[in-house]
Structure formats: structure tokens, C-alpha cells
Amino acid sequence: MDEAVTYRRATVRDALAICELGQLLNAVHHAARPDIYTAATPDFSRDLPHWTSFFERPDQVVFIADVGHQAAGFITASLSSSTGPLMQPLDFVRIGSVCVDEQFWGNGIGRSLVRLVQNWALENDANDIRLAVWAFNARAARLYTELGFETRAFEMGMRL
């Protein structure tokens, strides 16, 4: 990679670039679970309402990685709290989506995006970071394990 990677907090002006990158997420998830996920589409603006919703609340954040003038990856995260009579009170951050354009894989962009969320979590007094990853997504699971995430629970499902 010839150009340097820059990282910043995304704004609603980045939503179309995020929609376009998000097609990779659509394609990977649809290929493995077409019963759940829709296919990628050339009209990636279809997903604009989904991605712009991340800019509407102060307890959510999107970070974006740029290589030159091209969006190379993004990550979404939100602040949450566990409360209730059976739970210890805990403020945590949930990572929603992580996406890096395939042409930039192996350059540390995903790792850097996760670190940005870790810093954001600390700035917001969170005590924990959580995410969910599909069993078919071994590449992502390996990255998260390397970054220190641990398997805590299994979500199980049964198709009817």
C-alpha cells in the first residue's frame, strides 16, 4: 500500500461510502446465510437508512479509515448498559459492524479500527467491549481473538 491510512470519526457525509463498503458485508453474510441476509446490490444506496441511523444518537459512533481519498474500512459501535435484578450494573460498548475493503486486507486497518473503539469506550467510561461474530466468519473470529476478545457465550438457533 503506497498511501498512508488516516482514521477519523465518520459523519453523515460518509454514509454513501459506508453503504458501498457495506456491500462486502452483505456479500460475505449472504453467501454463508442467504436465509437471513440479503444479497449485495449495485444500488448500495438501498442501505442508506440503516447506516445513517448510526449518526443520529450520541451513544453511537462510526470510525472510518481512508487511504488517500478512498474509504478503506469502517467500524460501528454503541454504548449500552446491563441492568436488572440478576445483572451487575455494567456500562459496555457493543461493536456492530467491522468492514475493510478486500484490497486493503492485511494492512492492520481492522485492528486500528477496533483500537479506536477501545479508546472511545474508555473515554465513555465503559468497562467492557462486546461483539458477535458468525461461526462461518473464521477470519474475523481469528482477528478478534488476536486482539484479546474471548468467547463468552454461544448463540444457538434452529431453523423451522
Answer whether 128's CB lies under 8 Å from 117's CB.
no
Q: For residue 106, which amino acid is it?
A: G
Look up the pTM and report it.
0.92
The contacts of residue 83 (CB under 8 Å, 6+ apart) are: 89
**What residue ranges do the domains of the chain occupy?**
5-146
Residue % of the chain over a pLDDT of 90: 79
CA quadruple 49, 52, 57, 59: dihedral sign = positive
Q: Give Cα 132 distance to the centre of its chain.
A: 10
Answer whether 101's CB lies under 8 Å from 113's CB.
no
Answer whether 98's CB lies under 8 Å from 77's CB.
no
pLDDT score for 87: 82
Q: Which residue, among 24, 66, 28, 67, has the nearest Cα to 44 in the 3D structure? A: 24
Query: What are residue 73's phi and psi, to 5 degrees?
Result: -175, 165
The contacts of residue 56 (CB under 8 Å, 6+ apart) are: none
Region 143-151 average pLDDT: 95
C-alpha cell belonging to residue 94 = 457493543
pLDDT of residue 41 exceeding 70: yes
- Chain segment 83-114, per-residue pLDDT in tens: 878 888 889 999 999 999 999 999 999 999 99
Report residue 34's pLDDT band, with 50, 70 and 90 as the boundaries: very high
pLDDT score for 1: 63
C-alpha cell belonging to residue 84 = 436488572
pLDDT of residue 40 exceeding 90: no
Residue % of the chain over a pLDDT of 70: 99
CATH superfamily to which 5-146 belongs = Gcn5-related N-acetyltransferase (GNAT) (3.40.630.30)
Instruction: Give the dihedral of Cα atoms 11, 15, 17, 20; nearest 10 deg.
Output: 150
Q: How many CB atoms lie within 10 A of CB 11?
A: 10
